[in-house]
């Protein structure tokens, strides 16, 4: 019997930043709100059921307008998980948080946002990442 495999290639059209921070997620969201004049609001946690292997519960903050969208995601599962790598993006597990910006302009443009995030005392390290190079980029599509 033949087996058919569906190969889907996604194109990610957003900027992605990896943040290393020992701050709690609500503290980091509050700091970003003050710095960038946003209103990141806690959304319902994202739940990824991975059939027999377990599930991931990812904390999710969102600020959306008609022009752009900014999402703060915790990279590690909030709930204890039996998975070896309980991360939203296991190939970049060294980052505690992921910041996803769609259609960012002005202070939310990639270079300007990178310099603002670097200046924050709550953030030890920030890097701009290419989401198209990630192995698990499907986890970042909403």
Indicate the domain borders of the chain.
15-135
Per-residue pLDDT tens listing for the chain (142 residues): 778 776 666 667 788 999 999 999 999 999 999 988 999 999 998 888 776 677 788 899 999 999 889 999 999 888 776 677 788 888 888 999 999 988 877 777 888 889 999 999 999 999 999 888 888 777 777 6
Q: Are 129 and 92 within 8 A, CB to CB?
A: yes
pTM exceeds 0.75: yes
Residue 128: phi, psi to the nearest 5?
-90, 135
Tell me the C-alpha distance between 62 and 8, whole Å. 27
At 55 the three-state DSSP class reads strand
> How far apart are alpha carbons 34 and 42 in whole angstroms?
15
CA distance 72 to 1: 45
């Amino acid at each position: 019997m033949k087996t058919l495999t569906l190969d889907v290639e996604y194109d990610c059209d957003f900027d992605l930043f990896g943040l290393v921070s020992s701050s709690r997620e609500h503290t980091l969201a509050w700091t970003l709100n003050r710095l960038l004049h946003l209103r990141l609001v806690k959304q319902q946690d994202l739940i990824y059921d991975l059939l027999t292997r377990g599930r991931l519960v990812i904390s999710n903050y969102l600020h959306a307008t008609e022009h752009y969208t900014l999402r703060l995601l915790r990279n590690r599962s909030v709930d204890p998980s039996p998975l070896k790598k309980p991360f939203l993006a296991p190939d970049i597990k060294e980052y505690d948080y992921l910041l996803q910006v769609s259609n960012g302009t002005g202070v939310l443009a990639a270079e300007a946002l990178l310099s603002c995030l670097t200046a924050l005392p709550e953030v030890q390290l920030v890097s701009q990442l290419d989401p198209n190079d990630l192995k698990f980029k499907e986890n970042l599509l909403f």
